[in-house]
Protein backbone atom coordinates (compact mmCIF):
# COMPACT_ATOMS: atom_id res chain seq x y z
CA UNK A 1 0.00 0.00 0.00
CA UNK A 2 1.24 3.48 -0.89
CA UNK A 3 2.12 5.88 1.89
CA UNK A 4 0.12 9.08 1.94
CA UNK A 5 2.20 12.16 1.19
CA UNK A 6 2.29 15.77 2.26
CA UNK A 7 2.55 17.74 -0.97
CA UNK A 8 3.29 21.46 -0.98
CA UNK A 9 2.19 24.03 -3.55
CA UNK A 10 3.50 27.57 -3.68
CA UNK A 11 2.98 30.42 -6.09
CA UNK A 12 5.28 33.41 -6.25
CA UNK A 13 4.47 36.49 -8.27
CA UNK A 14 7.90 37.17 -9.73
CA UNK A 15 11.24 35.45 -10.03
CA UNK A 16 12.80 37.65 -7.34
CA UNK A 17 10.15 36.81 -4.74
CA UNK A 18 11.37 34.42 -2.12
CA UNK A 19 9.66 31.02 -2.00
CA UNK A 20 11.56 29.88 1.09
CA UNK A 21 9.36 31.65 3.61
CA UNK A 22 6.07 30.32 2.14
CA UNK A 23 6.30 26.78 3.48
CA UNK A 24 9.24 27.33 5.80
CA UNK A 25 9.57 24.65 8.47
CA UNK A 26 6.71 22.58 7.05
CA UNK A 27 7.72 18.97 6.45
CA UNK A 28 6.79 17.97 2.91
CA UNK A 29 7.46 15.01 0.62
CA UNK A 30 7.24 17.04 -2.60
CA UNK A 31 6.79 20.70 -3.52
CA UNK A 32 5.40 22.31 -6.68
CA UNK A 33 6.17 25.99 -7.37
CA UNK A 34 4.63 28.34 -9.94
CA UNK A 35 6.15 31.71 -10.71
CA UNK A 36 3.09 33.59 -11.92
CA UNK A 37 0.86 36.48 -10.91
CA UNK A 38 -2.50 35.81 -9.28
CA UNK A 39 -4.46 36.84 -12.34
CA UNK A 40 -2.34 34.63 -14.61
CA UNK A 41 -4.31 31.52 -15.49
CA UNK A 42 -1.19 29.65 -16.61
CA UNK A 43 -0.12 27.71 -13.54
CA UNK A 44 1.53 24.58 -14.95
CA UNK A 45 2.91 23.48 -11.59
CA UNK A 46 -0.55 23.67 -9.99
CA UNK A 47 -1.88 21.48 -12.80
CA UNK A 48 1.02 19.05 -12.24
CA UNK A 49 0.39 19.12 -8.49
CA UNK A 50 -3.34 18.37 -8.91
CA UNK A 51 -2.40 15.53 -11.24
CA UNK A 52 0.11 14.20 -8.69
CA UNK A 53 -1.92 14.15 -5.46
CA UNK A 54 -3.75 10.95 -4.57
CA UNK A 55 -6.43 9.90 -2.12
CA UNK A 56 -5.03 10.09 1.42
CA UNK A 57 -2.52 12.83 0.54
CA UNK A 58 -2.52 16.29 2.08
CA UNK A 59 -1.99 19.36 -0.09
CA UNK A 60 -0.24 22.03 1.97
CA UNK A 61 -0.44 25.66 0.82
CA UNK A 62 0.92 28.73 2.62
CA UNK A 63 -2.37 30.64 2.30
CA UNK A 64 -5.65 30.59 0.40
CA UNK A 65 -4.61 33.40 -1.94
CA UNK A 66 -1.56 31.38 -3.04
CA UNK A 67 -3.73 28.48 -4.24
CA UNK A 68 -6.48 30.36 -6.05
CA UNK A 69 -6.93 33.49 -8.18
CA UNK A 70 -10.29 34.25 -6.60
CA UNK A 71 -12.79 32.74 -4.19
CA UNK A 72 -14.70 30.92 -6.92
CA UNK A 73 -11.45 29.24 -7.98
CA UNK A 74 -10.62 28.44 -4.34
CA UNK A 75 -13.99 26.79 -3.68
CA UNK A 76 -13.79 24.74 -6.85
CA UNK A 77 -10.26 23.52 -6.08
CA UNK A 78 -11.03 22.65 -2.44
CA UNK A 79 -14.22 20.80 -3.42
CA UNK A 80 -12.48 18.86 -6.20
CA UNK A 81 -9.56 17.88 -3.98
CA UNK A 82 -11.61 16.88 -0.93
CA UNK A 83 -13.93 15.00 -3.29
CA UNK A 84 -10.90 12.90 -4.32
CA UNK A 85 -10.01 12.23 -0.68
CA UNK A 86 -7.18 14.79 -0.59
CA UNK A 87 -6.96 17.01 2.49
CA UNK A 88 -6.22 20.69 1.86
CA UNK A 89 -4.23 22.49 4.55
CA UNK A 90 -3.74 26.26 4.66
CA UNK A 91 -0.83 27.12 6.95
CA UNK A 92 -1.46 30.87 7.45
CA UNK A 93 -5.21 30.50 8.08
CA UNK A 94 -4.61 27.35 10.17
CA UNK A 95 -7.43 25.56 8.34
CA UNK A 96 -7.63 22.02 7.03
CA UNK A 97 -10.40 20.84 4.74
CA UNK A 98 -11.11 17.13 4.37
CA UNK A 99 -13.86 15.22 2.58
CA UNK A 100 -15.46 14.35 5.93
CA UNK A 101 -15.73 18.03 6.71
CA UNK A 102 -16.71 19.21 10.12
CA UNK A 103 -19.72 21.48 10.39
CA UNK A 104 -17.34 24.40 11.02
CA UNK A 105 -15.33 23.79 7.84
CA UNK A 106 -18.50 23.35 5.80
CA UNK A 107 -19.76 26.64 7.21
CA UNK A 108 -16.46 28.39 6.44
CA UNK A 109 -16.43 27.06 2.89
CA UNK A 110 -20.08 28.07 2.39
CA UNK A 111 -19.35 31.56 3.71
CA UNK A 112 -16.37 31.84 1.38
CA UNK A 113 -18.67 30.78 -1.45
CA UNK A 114 -21.21 33.44 -0.54
CA UNK A 115 -18.46 36.06 -0.39
CA UNK A 116 -17.19 34.90 -3.80
CA UNK A 117 -20.64 35.28 -5.35
CA UNK A 118 -21.04 38.72 -3.73
CA UNK A 119 -17.57 39.78 -4.93
CA UNK A 120 -18.44 38.68 -8.47
CA UNK A 121 -21.76 40.57 -8.52
CA UNK A 122 -20.03 43.72 -7.18
CA UNK A 123 -17.44 43.53 -9.97
CA UNK A 124 -20.18 43.15 -12.60
CA UNK A 125 -22.17 46.03 -11.08
CA UNK A 126 -19.12 48.33 -11.15
CA UNK A 127 -18.46 47.24 -14.72
CA UNK A 128 -22.04 48.11 -15.76
CA UNK A 129 -21.85 51.48 -13.96
CA UNK A 130 -18.55 52.19 -15.71
CA UNK A 131 -20.07 51.42 -19.11
CA UNK A 132 -23.04 53.72 -18.42
CA UNK A 133 -20.67 56.54 -17.41
CA UNK A 134 -18.41 55.92 -20.41
CA UNK A 135 -21.42 55.96 -22.78
CA UNK A 136 -22.62 59.22 -21.24
CA UNK A 137 -19.15 60.70 -21.80
CA UNK A 138 -19.18 59.40 -25.38
CA UNK A 139 -16.20 57.13 -24.72
CA UNK A 140 -17.98 53.80 -25.08
CA UNK A 141 -19.35 53.01 -28.49
CA UNK A 142 -20.00 49.31 -28.12
CA UNK A 143 -18.95 46.90 -30.83
CA UNK A 144 -18.48 48.06 -34.42
CA UNK A 145 -21.24 46.88 -36.78
CA UNK A 146 -20.32 43.73 -38.69
CA UNK A 147 -21.66 45.09 -41.98
CA UNK A 148 -21.94 48.52 -43.60
CA UNK A 149 -25.44 49.90 -44.30
CA UNK A 150 -25.04 48.91 -47.97
CA UNK A 151 -23.99 45.36 -47.09
CA UNK A 152 -26.88 45.05 -44.62
CA UNK A 153 -29.38 46.08 -47.33
CA UNK A 154 -27.81 43.60 -49.80
CA UNK A 155 -28.00 40.86 -47.15
CA UNK A 156 -31.70 41.54 -46.46
CA UNK A 157 -32.52 41.58 -50.19
CA UNK A 158 -30.70 38.27 -50.82
CA UNK A 159 -32.39 36.73 -47.76
CA UNK A 160 -35.79 37.87 -49.04
CA UNK A 161 -34.92 36.34 -52.43
CA UNK A 162 -34.60 32.99 -50.68
CA UNK A 163 -30.84 32.54 -50.26
CA UNK A 164 -29.87 30.31 -47.34
CA UNK A 165 -28.72 31.83 -44.06
CA UNK A 166 -25.65 29.58 -44.05
CA UNK A 167 -24.59 30.69 -47.55
CA UNK A 168 -25.11 34.36 -46.69
CA UNK A 169 -23.14 34.01 -43.45
CA UNK A 170 -20.27 32.46 -45.43
CA UNK A 171 -20.38 35.11 -48.19
CA UNK A 172 -20.40 38.03 -45.75
CA UNK A 173 -17.95 36.43 -43.32
CA UNK A 174 -20.34 36.64 -40.37
CA UNK A 175 -22.09 34.12 -38.14
CA UNK A 176 -25.55 32.76 -38.88
CA UNK A 177 -26.78 34.49 -35.71
CA UNK A 178 -25.57 37.81 -37.12
CA UNK A 179 -27.53 37.14 -40.32
CA UNK A 180 -30.65 36.57 -38.20
CA UNK A 181 -29.91 39.76 -36.23
CA UNK A 182 -29.75 41.80 -39.46
CA UNK A 183 -32.90 40.10 -40.77
CA UNK A 184 -34.76 41.18 -37.60
Instruction: Output the CA torsion 106→109→114→120 (10° steps).
Output: -160
Of the candidates 75, 145, 142, 86, which has an alpha carbon nearest to the alpha carbon of residue 113?
Answer: 75
By three-state DSSP, how is residue 111 classified? helix
**Residue 53 phi/psi, 5° resolution?**
-65, 145
| Cα→Cα distances 121→74, 126, 127, 147, 177, Å | 17, 9, 10, 34, 28
Question: Cβ(63)–Cβ(104) under 8 Å?
Answer: no
**Residues 4, 13, 110, 164: which is the catalytic one?**
13
Give the helix/strand (H/E) hosting 75.
helix 71-83
The answer to whether 102 is a known catalytic residue is no
Question: Cβ(64)–Cβ(90) under 8 Å?
Answer: yes
* Distance separating alpha carbons of residues 146 and 152, to the nearest angstrom: 9
Q: Which residues are catalytic?
A: 13
Amino acid sequence: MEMSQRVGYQRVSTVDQNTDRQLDGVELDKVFTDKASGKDTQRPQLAACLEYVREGDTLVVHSMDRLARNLEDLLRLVRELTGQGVKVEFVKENLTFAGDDSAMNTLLLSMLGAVAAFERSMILERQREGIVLAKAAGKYKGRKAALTAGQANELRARLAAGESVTALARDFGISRQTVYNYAA
